[in-house]
Amino acid sequence: MSDCIFCRIARGEIPTTVVYEDDDVIAFEDVNPQMPVHTLIIPKQHYAHIGDDVPSEVLGKVFSAVKTVAALKGVEQTGYRIIANTGKDACQTVHHLHVHLLGGARLPLGMGPAD
């Protein structure tokens, strides 16, 4: 996907603060952080969302990277939340599979519907 913003980040075409990178996955700081720690973890290969026929090995690599990033960001012991917004009701805005890793402060408990 030549015009996908996260594909462009994965190719190094858009500057970003990289937290972790390997052959298959890149993690970088969210441009609009909602928490003291707010890092995005994506597969370099383009998938629109988690339901986009993502091979299990790709999912495994993304979730393995979650653990690595949590350690790198120093929230492994204090805890963190991961979110993969998927589709309209979840307000997904970038249509390239990504996992938000949020932490560094106490997160709200609620996960119900918006008002």
Q: Give the residue numbers marked as catalytic.
A: 98
Least CB distance from residue 28 to ligand DGP, whole Å? Answer: 5
Least CB distance from residue 50 to ligand DGP, whole Å? Answer: 11
Least CB distance from residue 76 to ligand DGP, whole Å? Answer: 22
Q: For ligand DGP, give the closer residue by CB, 2 or 93.
A: 93
- Report the C-alpha gap between 8 and 64 in whole angstroms: 22
Q: For ligand DGP, give the closer residue by CB, 16 or 43.
A: 16
Q: How many CB atoms lie within 10 A of CB 65?
A: 25
Using CA of residue 14, residue 107, residue 76, residue 90, what is the dihedral sign?
Answer: negative
Q: How many CB atoms lie within 10 A of CB 36?
A: 11
- Report the C-alpha gap between 50 and 53 in whole angstroms: 7
| Interacting residue ranges for ligand DGP, rule: CB under 6 A | 5, 14, 16, 28-32, 40, 85, 91-94
Q: For ligand DGP, give the closer residue by CB, 1 or 14.
A: 14
Which candidate, 96, 71, 76, places its Cα nearest to that of 84? 96
